[in-house]
Homo-oligomer: A and B are copies of this chain.
Amino acid sequence: MVIAKKYVLAKHFEGEPKVSDLAIVDEELPVLKEEEYLIQAEFLSVDPYMRVYTQRYPVGITMIGRQIGKIIASKNKDYPVGKRVVANVGWRTHTIIDPNSKEHFGQPPYVLPDFGTLPASLGLGVLGRPGNTAYFGLVEICQPKAGETLVVSGAAGAVGSHVGQIGKILGLRVIGIAGSDAKCKWLKEELGFDHAINYKTQDITAALEKAAPHKVDCYFDNVGGEISNIVMNQMNNFGRVSVCGSISSYNAQSDALPKCSVVQKMVVTLQLRIEGFIVSRWDHRLMEGIEQNYQWVKEEKLKYRETVTEGFENTFEAFAGMLQGKNSGKAIVKV
């Protein structure tokens, strides 16, 4: 008999998530039915979107999120023991998966592709849906053209750091906005960003005017709020904004969102196009994105960083730290 450990939502988050909002409980798993297989978690992903989406579900749910698990028992020949699977099953150590289930939040589990000598954990980051978030979110929504100027907010995060590098691969002038000098240094010196602005210490308006003398054509937005207003105010006519996240307002209740300046005036006068997206809209092209990113990683055009927290019991700390911006690159838990 297998006993899974899992995090359940004990209380909806209010403001910054608290450790007491989640509880670790045991769950006795039944025996495998035909077609099912059992995975043991190796890596858990912690991502900003979790802060928001848990609010949609009732207290008592398993805390949401993707993981990489190794198949340790199977009654399905397509999912043999030893293979790894990327599955959106939440924060849990052991999970029985029915491949025909409609669960998993519309993201069916898939066998992790072979990444050669690269770490498997990249399947939760640069070579998984976060990587596809960067790739499709930039290419499809911003439709950037070589020579244009791209601004990325939340630039030192998993998605932001990836977006900026794709921008460089595509021939754009790339400016990142991040929250520490160390992050800015990393973006410029290791990832090849043309400029990086520390929003905590610099006057963003003035710094951006200097960094983007031809103004901004594409803006990949992870943060929302007043930083986004400042960037959009410096866009060229017909600028495109890809809204991937709004981390600046994730800790607020929906009925008490932070206030910032009205956006519509500049949206009209600059004829901006702003589009929000969730990566699953491109799930029919899942492998296309993963393969493109894998190619760039192999060619050393695309670098990645992981902030790895060890231990299932430290998953909450990894999550809370990521929301506070303590990570560089992808925040991961090694179970």
Contacts and interface: CB of A to CB of B under 8 A. Distances in A.
B269 A248 contact: no
Nearest to A223: B264
Interface string A261-294: 1111111111111111110010000000000000
17 contacts: A52-B265, A243-B268, A244-B268, A246-B264, A254-B265, A257-B265, A258-B261, A259-B261, A260-B260, A260-B262, A268-B276, A269-B278, A270-B276, A271-B277, A272-B274, A272-B276, A273-B273
Contacts of A275: 267, 271-274
- Chain A's interface size range is 35 or more
A268 B258 contact: no
A160 B225 CA distance: 28
A315 to B, nearest CB: 23
A54 interface: no
A233 to B, nearest CB: 8
A220 interface: no
A238 B266 CA distance: 22
B258 A245 contact: no
Given A244-B268, A268-B244, A269-B52, A262 B277 contact: no
Given A271-B278, A275-B272, A275-B273, A250 B262 contact: no
